[in-house]
Structure 1
Amino acid sequence: MSDGNDERGGSIVPWRSATLHVILASSLMGVMGVSLISPLLPSLRGVFGVSDAQIGLVITVYTLPGVFLTPFIGLVADRIGRRRVIIPLLFVFGIGGAGIAVAHSFRAVLALRFLQGIGASALVTLAVTLIGDVYEGARRNAVMGVNSSTIGTGAALYPLIGGALASVRWNLPFLFFGIGIVVALVALVALPEPEGTEPDDIRTYLSGLSDVVTSPEALAIFAAIFIVFFVFYGAVQTALPLLLTDEFGLSSGGIGLTLSMVSLASAVVSSQYGRISQWRSAPELIALGFLAYGCSLLGVRLAPSPLFVGASLLIFGVGFGLVMPSIDTAIVTAVPDRLRAGMMGMRTSVLRLGQTAGPIAFTFLAETFFPTPSTGYRLLLVVCGVVILAAGAVGYPLLRR
């Protein structure tokens, strides 16, 4: 289906489309949940008197619902429509996140983060699904790149916003999540339901989805997604803020500025994805992204100051800007419309599994098997960097052939 506003101004990207605005806003909500609060994780240790491993749960309980719920949500969205699913999720995200601002115990924080994670579980999934529903061909690639660039821009700004708000009071970043309620109200008015075919009966639907999900191409994509987000959320979003505080004494604002380098570079690269995708295939771009990840993690380990850490994270962002739109494009073009939300749900379930396992693994290993957590974080960065660099170096020439 083509968006009725996509021809205005002659641009390949339909900038005046209300549908596009809701898609981009939903994606922005979907990536806000972690990047906004990463800079204040060290501060939460003092506010609630908890350890590094317990702080990792602030990320884990948020990402955990997506592991189990997103495939089911995708199935429901394929059967009853995208609009009827994404709007309630936006409300739950905003209410759960803003409620943390008045939490009086760490247990209450975790409970509300879990609720917020339910709302966030499929926001990006449904936003990308809508892109596949509404746009076609070169316009689809261009909008996919704009969506990834918007995600990167938001993720670059959120650590800065979160760090600045946390420097005033620890709970202000959580109030910021209330924007999700505003987006839900706008979507009620502005988001139409894409046209679609009559849904299959449930047995036929599940059989078709199973065939797609278990194909070698899909399994390779799922493996890449898990690795990317296991390392990103374990090393960059959880371990690195703690390391920057313990090793360099950075404040929440400084941590936010440093982490924003990933999203800044990602936004720039993914904004050009429509052009880049004409140069190399999606699998090749994923392999190149892995090369960038590996170089970045090794650079972070060797960095003598936060300035050099930030410079190394720019390289990680380049990889992110190549990998994510390539993965999403490969998925939405490989499945029929009637299975698209379900397939994207499986993609997000694997993504959430990586997000959930990463923080637990990094903090547990660093605290359990090393003299100090900082020593553990540094060695884990090297191990991950070498493994991912090797995967990209081996994979790229094979995919080229």
Structure 2
Amino acid sequence: MPARRVRGDVPWSSALFQTVLACSLIGVMGVPLISPILPSLRSVFGISDAQIGLVITAYTLPGVFLTPFIGLISDRLGRRAVVLPLLTLFGLAGGGIALGPPFRGVLALRFVQGIGGSGLMVLAITLIGDFYAGERRNTVMGINGSAIGIGAAAYPLLGGVLAAVRWNVPFAFFGLSLVVGAIALFTLEEPAVDDPPAIGPYVSRVISVVLVPRALGLWAAAFLTFFLFYGCILTVLSLLLSDVYGLSSGQIGLLFGAVSIANASIASQYGRVSRYFEAEELIALGFVGFGISLLGVWAASTPVLIGVMLLCFGLGFGLVMPSLDTTVVGLVSGQLRASMMGVLTSMLWLGQTVGPIAFTGFAGVAFDEPVTGYRFLLLFWGVATLVSGGLAFLALDRRS
């Protein structure tokens, strides 16, 4: 099936469009839904801060290695043949944690759930690239990013509310993926793309594109974005808000919602913003937003001020992610699109995987008090991202 017409309007009534959004919302659910309850898991299982990071790492680790292969399989076997099993695996494994297994069982199920979640967002973005083109692609990509932001804003709030019933109730919510899978069985279309070449030439073409300097910069930006978000915000800041300010899971979820609300707001306007700046310039500006946010959180004296500064992180996120997605899907033809999105998503998952254990591990080893280490990391990465983002934007602006 050819790409949809290039007008910039949003196909709200399209069952395909709705299914793509649902897949994206499921794909982003795995961490934000449970991030507010991470501090309470310490008492539930009798574990340390470093072990808390494993709850996220076990989920994200499969995506580091699997997403390129999921993209490759999707390019060769079709989108439906991959999306439907992933939705099923995500729902069954995630919902199984609600049964209350021991901590090792939780980590094992999170690993299996991560296998299911690893390809959902990459395939949702790939489907947008398959079915839409021109200005409409940019608009739909922005709406998809906005939907992800709205979902990510709601998930911490929802997770905090569900955790007030019992710690494992948020995990039962992962079963919603099974419902989405049942709907996708009837609504998800299979795009028509050219037949991929033989596996040897196919892999060679993917590798040659992956190593292009422009692509390497995109992979680095993707890794750092999720390294900071999952390590510094969702893990470190969650522990700080609990230990220093005594906030509950629900209150932590409310503050984290600021990131996603700002993300959704700016991403929904991405189609308009992209008319005035190149994608690489928007990525650089997004990192400036990250730096301002992290420095503001470091300097903030109250949870309210922290929430305000998290809005800056969300604005940066809303610029970076659609820019990465639209740039990568435009690098290659439909034959390689899922594979390239798989590489991009692999970098995202690598950042998610390394971030939590790197931040909590460094703070625990290098400082007598982890809280002191967390504050140092906020300062260091705030300065680093602000300076690097600003210099990159100036360099790109001169080049244009």
What TM-score bracket applies, with the shorter chain setting the length?
over 0.9
**Alignment of structure 1 residues 219-298 onto 2, 5 Å:** 219-298=216-295
The offset of 1:334, in angstroms, is 1.1
Work out the CA distance in 2 between the residues paired with 1:11 and 1:243: 43
SS of 1:184's partner is: helix
Contact 2:126-2:338 at 8 Å conserved across structures: yes
Contact 2:8-2:135 at 8 Å conserved across structures: no
C-alpha distance after superposition, 1:331-370 (max 9, x if no partner): 0011111000000000011111111000010110111111
Work out the CA distance in 1 between the residues paired with 2:242 and 2:196: 52
Residue 218, structure 1, aligned to residue 251, structure 2? no
Work out the CA distance in 2 between the residues paired with 1:154 and 1:16: 20
Which residue identity lines up with residue 155 of structure 1 in the other structure? A
Contact 1:71-1:349 at 8 Å conserved across structures: yes
Work out the CA distance in 1 between the residues paired with 2:276 and 2:157: 34
Work out the CA distance in 1 between the residues paired with 2:2 and 2:198: 26
The offset of 1:104, in angstroms, is 2.6
Matched residue, 1:169: 166
Contact 2:231-2:359 at 8 Å conserved across structures: yes
Give the counterpart of 2:301 among 279, 304, 322: 304
Work out the CA distance in 1 between the residues paired with 2:35 and 2:300: 20
The offset of 1:214, in angstroms, is 0.3
Q: Size of the alignment, in residue pairs?
A: 398
Residue 153, structure 1, aligned to residue 150, structure 2? yes
Q: Indicate the percent of aligned positions where both proteins have the same amino acid.
A: 59
The offset of 1:140, in angstroms, is 0.3
Which residue identity lines up with residue 332 of structure 1 in the other structure? V
- TM-score, normalised with respect to structure 1: 0.98
Residue 15, structure 1, aligned to residue 18, structure 2? no
Work out the CA distance in 1 between the residues paired with 2:124 and 2:230: 21
Contact 1:3-1:17 at 8 Å conserved across structures: no
Work out the CA distance in 2 between the residues paired with 1:276 and 1:315: 17
SS of 1:35's partner is: coil
Residue 138, structure 1, aligned to residue 135, structure 2? yes
Which residue identity lines up with residue 329 of structure 1 in the other structure? T
The offset of 1:393, in angstroms, is 1.1
SS of 1:179's partner is: helix
Residue 117, structure 1, aligned to residue 117, structure 2? no
Which residue identity lines up with residue 177 of structure 1 in the other structure? F
Matched residue, 1:53: 50
C-alpha distance after superposition, 1:87-108 (max 9, x if no partner): 1000000111000001331001
Contact 2:149-2:263 at 8 Å conserved across structures: yes
Matched residue, 1:183: 180
C-alpha distance after superposition, 1:12-50 (max 9, x if no partner): 111111111110000001110000000000010010110
The offset of 1:132, in angstroms, is 0.2
Moved >2 Å (runs of 4+)? 1-4
Matched residue, 1:315: 312
Work out the CA distance in 1 between the residues paired with 2:171 and 2:57: 17
Contact 2:3-2:133 at 8 Å conserved across structures: no
C-alpha distance after superposition, 1:151-208 (max 9, x if no partner): 0000000000000100111011000000000000000011111111112110111111
Give the counterpart of 1:383 among 380, 383, 392: 380
Work out the CA distance in 2 between the residues paired with 1:366 and 1:121: 28
Work out the CA distance in 1 between the residues paired with 2:155 and 2:287: 24
Q: Which runs of 5+ in 2 are unaligned?
A: none
Work out the CA distance in 1 between the residues paired with 2:237 and 2:266: 23
Work out the CA distance in 1 between the residues paired with 2:233 and 2:8: 36
Residue 63, structure 1, aligned to residue 60, structure 2? yes
SS of 1:177's partner is: helix
Work out the CA distance in 2 between the residues paired with 1:44 and 1:198: 48
Work out the CA distance in 2 between the residues paired with 1:300 and 1:116: 32
Work out the CA distance in 1 between the residues paired with 2:318 and 2:193: 30
The offset of 1:279, in angstroms, is 0.8
Which residue identity lines up with residue 223 of structure 1 in the other structure? A
C-alpha distance after superposition, 1:297-321 (max 9, x if no partner): 0000111111011000000000000
Matched residue, 2:324: 327
Pair 1:103–1:121, CA change in 2 (3 A): same
Work out the CA distance in 2 between the residues paired with 1:37 and 1:2: 39
Work out the CA distance in 2 between the residues paired with 1:390 and 1:90: 40
The offset of 1:2, in angstroms, is 4.7
Contact 1:2-1:136 at 8 Å conserved across structures: no
The offset of 1:3, in angstroms, is 6.3
* Aligned-pair Cα RMSD in Å: 1.1
Q: Which runs of 5+ in 1 are unaligned?
A: none
Give the counterpart of 1:97 among 94, 98, 103: 94
Deviates more, 1:352-361 or 1:364-373: 364-373
Residue 33, structure 1, aligned to residue 44, structure 2? no
Work out the CA distance in 2 between the residues paired with 1:148 and 1:296: 20
Residue 42, structure 1, aligned to residue 39, structure 2? yes
Matched residue, 2:72: 75
Work out the CA distance in 2 between the residues paired with 1:276 and 1:226: 23
